[in-house]
Amino acid sequence: MTVLSGMLRVLLCPGLLSALLVGLLVRGVAAWLGAGIRGRPAPPPWTPLLEVFSLAGKASPQERPPAVWPGLAGLLALSWATGLLPWPGWGRPADLPGDLALYLLLLAAPPLARLLAAGLSAYPPAILGLRRQTPLELARLLPLFLAASALPLATGQATLSGRLSPTLEHALLSLAIAALFLGLLPWPLWDRDEYDAPLAGLGGRTLAVFRALEAVELAAHLGLVAVALRAGAFLPPGLDGLEVALALLGGILFLAFGETEGQRILLPEAARRYTRWALPAAALVAFLGWWFR
């Protein structure tokens, strides 16, 4: 891969622009579907995309330029992460030998960017939001890292393109990993521009950067779901793209279910969900990955 093709992959597809579009549309479709299920007025599915472009064209008197840099760094990290995924139609899997440990470290960029932006803020509600949000961010990352360890344990390699042996146990294990990754999607963390939230007081272009960061984070998580499905090798080789489609469909349905709850889960309750059911489930999945290796 040349330097130019690598840069284009990071910026275009699979990279920043494609992941941004996918994340915004998945969030918009899920919000539209969730509102329709509850019989509430449903905004058009492309609303999040329009909101980001609208914010990007506005300046806010409360904007703090130092807060923009963590968001931009997170966008670059996630763009690199999406380029590591073994997307179908982009050559042999060996062409994208993404390392799983590196991918997970890049997935930690969004929460760190949000917390750092709040720390750089001089707005008191944002500082309070930082103290309230930090336990939740850590509670979500711990089971994510633990569940992801099941992939290299089961496949015997730490690359994202590896496949499990085509056995029933490994196929069920890959489905369990994918389901757990869906349960760790960052949907309870949205709408952080409210009072006493880490991004409180941000607006205009600064908020647009962090909205974009959240959308790319969602796309990167769904890519990890697709990798887990691919590792199971229970789909025919000629239908590799179906795993991506299943990941997108699963993400939309999971987020739509969250919309039926209003996406207003209190921070302590959200943290308990991650620590009480996600963390033990991740530990069990990691153990099964070692057992079935």
* Per-residue pLDDT tens over the stretch 159-180: 776 777 778 888 888 889 999 9
Q: Is 51 exposed, middle or buried (0-12, 13-18, 19+ CB in 10 A)?
A: middle
Q: How many domains does the chain have?
A: 1
Asked if residue 246 has pLDDT above 80, the reply is yes
Asked if residue 244 has pLDDT above 60, the reply is yes
Mean pLDDT of 201-222: 84
Size (the chain), residues: 293
C-alpha distances in Å from residue 186, one per residue of 16, 83, 141, 266? 18, 20, 10, 14
State the Cα–Cα distance between residues 264 and 261, nearest whole angstrom. 7
pLDDT of residue 189: 54
| Angle subtended by helix axes 65-84 and 204-232, to nearest 10 | 20
Our CA angle for 197, 198, 199, nearest 5°, is 90
C-alpha distances in Å from residue 128, one per residue of 42, 115, 125, 134, 204? 32, 11, 5, 10, 21
Q: Which residue has tokens 């991740």?
A: 282
State the Cα–Cα distance between residues 191 and 202, nearest whole angstrom. 12
Q: Which residue has tokens 């929460």?
A: 111
Amino acid (1-letter code) at residue 288: L
Could you tell me the pTM of the whole model?
0.86
State the Cα–Cα distance between residues 219 and 82, nearest whole angstrom. 8
Q: Which tokens hold the place of 267?
A: 């921070």
Q: What are the residues whose beta carbons fall under 8 Å from the beta carbon of 175, sequence distance 6 or more?
A: 229, 232
Question: Measured in Å, how far apart are the chain's first and last C-alpha atoms?
Answer: 32
pLDDT of residue 93: 42
More confident of the two residues 21 and 92: 21
Q: Which domain holds residue 195?
A: 3-291
**Sign of dihedral through CA atoms 18, 19, 24, 28?**
positive
Asked if residue 91 has pLDDT above 50, the reply is no
Mean of pLDDT over the chain: 78
pLDDT of residue 106: 85
Q: What are the residues whose beta carbons fall under 8 Å from the beta carbon of 78, sequence distance 6 or more?
A: 16, 19, 106, 107, 109, 110, 213, 216, 217, 219, 220
Asked if residue 94 has pLDDT above 50, the reply is no
